[in-house]
Amino acid sequence: MFLHKLPRLTAALALCGIGVVHAQAADDSKSLPTCKAEATLLPFSLKATLFEDDMGSVYLSIDGQRVLSQDTKIMTSDEQNMAFIEKFVNQSSFHFQMYIGDNEQGERTYRFESAYFLLPSYSNTNAAGEKLQRFAKINQIAVGEKQYVYQVEPQIPYNNFYEYPMTAAFAHASSTAWLQGEPTSISLQITDEAFVTEIQMLASNWAKFGNVMERDALSLFDKYIAGQCQADYACFFTTAAVHTIGLADDCWELTQLRAFRDNVMKRTVLGRELIEQYYAEAPTIVRRINQLSHARRVWLKTYWFDILPNALLAKVGFNTLAQKRYIALFHRLQKLSLSA
């Protein structure tokens, strides 16, 4: 049904008693513990999340990125457009997803799941003076001395960037090459089809970055074993926006509120106390509210009357009012949880 693609509209209708919200509020039996970590060792960075699946297996999902603005070598016959090409490369990046877990023998395993290049679009003017949006065409990829023809069309751009999917095998081969000190590269046409530009990604800090990933993997597994991982239901903002309405975890509202927490609340004594109180009490508050028969309506109202307005207030800089409204929300949900 098309309404599945419009979670905010679906939630508004449900609040008015029209239709239902298909995303489910989290509860103890459905939410799975997670731990998260981030690390950077330029040109690489990662976001790691530890999951427990329905079968009780624990694994680490890593979203990694390699920016092309560092430790790359540009070779092109289009010398007159070198400044533009350098700017293009500096805005480009290589992304990959991999999983780390233990096999049946208790051995640590690493598996690349997917990879893609994110390259910026650009515009030029034709003979008629019309401004045209363009995107680079990747002709070839190379790992060490092995070269492969690239025949995949880039995916639809967003924020003026195009996504060029790669196979998981390419990510794995790139990792192996970098560990051996060998570069990987892409050959593409940017400014003119008559010229070819090759971007070499040097081995850089990949071996050290591998140690960072291993370190983070071990630390998150250790946190999980020690019972220090909180479930998704620990956050009533996530419970309302993600689990009830069906928005993405990085939706505009949650991103704005997290920025408000980090850039505004953490800078004051009161703000830090409120954050500490939230982390200590929110899991219990959410767990108890989810036991109520009208829990879904509670989270619907929390989104429309608290999360969305507070995100807007934070966006326009009404910080004092946003914090007062947050305090009122916390006390209201805290009181409601005691009735469960």
Q: What is the pLDDT of residue 8?
A: 55
Alpha-carbon distances of 206 from 66, 80, 184, 239, rounded to whole Å: 10, 33, 12, 37
- Which residues of the chain fall below pLDDT 50? 1-5, 13-32, 54
At 43, give phi and psi (nearest 5°).
-90, 15
Looking at residue 34, its pLDDT comes to 67
Q: Output the pLDDT for position 56.
A: 59
Q: Say how far apart CA 194 and CA 52 lie, in whole Å.
A: 51
Q: pLDDT at position 23, please?
A: 42
Tell me if 7 sits within 8 A of 246, measured CB to CB: yes
Predicted local confidence at residue 2, as pLDDT: 37
Q: Give residue for tokens 């999340």.
A: 49
pLDDT score, position 263: 87
d(CA 32, CA 230): 8
Instruction: Please answer whether residues 21 and 244 qualify as being in contact, where contact means their C-beta atoms are separated by less than 8 angstroms.
Output: yes
pTM over 0.75? The answer is no
The pLDDT assigned to 151 comes to 82
**Predicted confidence (pLDDT) per residue in 257-296, tens digit:** 988 988 889 888 888 888 888 877 887 888 788 888 888 8
